[in-house]
Amino acid sequence: MGNGKGKQPLKNKKDNSSPILNKDSKSNLKWDPLRNIADDPDEVLRKTDERLDNLEKEYFNDEKDKSDNIGNIFGLHGLTRRDFIKWTSLVTSALMLPYIFKPRVARAANILTRTPFIWLEMSDCMGNTEAFLRTAHPTPAEIILSYVSVNYMESIMAPAGYQAEARMVETVKKYKGKYILVVEGAIPMGLDGKYLTIGAKGKSGLKITQEVSKNAGVIIAAGNCASYGGIPAANPNPTSAVGLSSVTDRKVINIPACPVNAVNLVGTLIEYVLIGKPPQLDSIGRPLWAYSERLHDTCYRRAHFEAGEYVKNWGDDGAKKQYCLYMMGCKGPFTWNNCTVVEYNQDLSFPMRAGHGCIGCSQPKFWDRMTPFEEPNESAKITLPMVEATADEFGAALFGAAGAGIAAHAIYTGVKKKREKKKISKNEKNNSEKDKSKDDKK
């Protein structure tokens, strides 16, 4: 192993917009077509339709090809057109778009399956790929992901070695500024990137991501490892692994979680197809439509938190009644994501519904900052902007109602304990008086 330091992440990053973005900015796109729709809805719809018309002309042979495409794809998986329409409603609402966008979301999903696509695998467990490609009953989002026009994806493509590399080079050249780049996994910087070499020529993951990022239309970091380094970057980070945004000066959209939620990934891609530029992002690069809410604020167990009803041991009565998992280390109060709303596996479940607390898998450095995962939160040292305190102190001091929930629980427990103590000492007193009178009689 080397000194583990490697190259330093890029500084003074600037957003080199893609040619597609430049095209839009040339046409004086002053508004964000999706978010400021109330300002000029007709103009927003006109611009979006114009973009979709152009993309359809580019990616479909004729009207029949266009109209049969998504039906054929869904049909192969036993899903009907109605299932697709239902799914477009879900994505439209998840993207926080007005209902009028629903048919446009459907068109964008159709276009997405033909948009050139490169998926790079870096330092990781491939859990994101596994999560949507290997499911027995794929969701519509997963089906669309598995039908995108994958020009390069090591885990599924037929060509190997030099042929595979040639395909990637060709895609970068042929679809300059148009292809979607998704990166899964962290990028090791140590030994000048040599902890990870890929392909027949043994190029480093660092070099490949930097080269392929340059001409991509949009760049997405899928999962926590690609977004922030994830588990490969956890202490002591022997390979000096970092997230994608640290190795490129292009704008990166982070879709963290472990694994990434297919709805969030496809939703972001659909928004890109609709407007031709990245969505509005939060300060750590995540789309606001998916990551602006704290899990704790939308969790179905929240009422139990407020009522001071907690699971205190795995499998206890509280666990059976689906009480709040805060005392079992749930990191929902410190995690921003929409798992509680869109859920995983055909909108079926997510960690808290399955009975385990959130481990904060969509936050940077969650493996270092959020551990231990299954012990009361006071053991975890959680650092938030302007706040450095244990989770319990933070909750009690700043969460208001949430803090009140903990306080209510503490007061209730305290009062109960006092009552029990009083009862015990009263019983003890009665018993000793009885014993005393027995002794007197003797």
Between 104 and 331, CB nearer to ligand F3S: 331
Least separation, in Å, of the C-beta of 418 and ligand SF4? Answer: 26
Distance in Å from the first CA to the final CA of the chain? 84
Q: Which stretch binds ligand SF4 (CB under 6 A): 24-32, 33-41, 238-246, 325-333?
A: 325-333
Using rule CB under 6 A, residue 360 touches ligand SF4: no
Q: Segment near ligand F3S (CB under 6 A), from 124-132, 143-151, 238-246, 350-358?
A: 350-358
Contact stretch for ligand SF4 (CB under 6 A) within 14-22, 56-64, 102-110, 320-328: 320-328
User: In this chain, which of 327, 359, 391, 406 binds ligand F3S, going by CB under 6 A?
Assistant: 359
Residue 362 lies near ligand F3S (rule: CB under 6 A): yes
Per CB under 6 A, the list member of 21, 34, 361, 406 interacting with ligand F3S is: 361
In terms of Cα–Cα distance, which of 249, 229, 248 is closest to 239?
A: 229
Q: Are 27 and 225 in contact (CB under 8 A)?
A: no
- Prior bond of 372 cis (ω within 30°): yes
Contact letters (x/-) for ligand F3S, 289-308, by CB under 6 A?
Answer: ------x-------------
322 three-class SS: coil
Residues 327 and 374: their CA atoms lie apart, in Å, by 9
**Residues 267-306 close enough to bind ligand SF4 by CB under 6 A:** 295-296, 299, 301-302, 305
Distance set, CA 409 to CA 191, 287, 394 (Å): 52, 35, 16
Which has the closest alpha carbon to 132: 223, 205, 71? 223
Among 333, 334, 370, 394, binds ligand SF4 (CB under 6 A): 333
Question: Strand 197-198 and strand 203-204: pairing?
Answer: antiparallel
CB of 326 vs ligand SF4, minimal distance in Å: 4
**Rounded to the nearest whole angstrom, what is the least distance from the CB of residue 343 to ligand SF4 in the complex?**
14
Q: Please, what is the minimum distance in Å from the beta carbon of residue 376 to ligand SF4?
A: 11
List the alpha helices (DSSP H) in 276-400: 288-291, 295-298, 302-306, 317-320, 339-342, 366-369, 391-398
Nearest-angstrom CA–CA distance, 225 and 365: 9
- Of 337, 371, 380, 405, the one binding ligand F3S (CB under 6 A) is 337
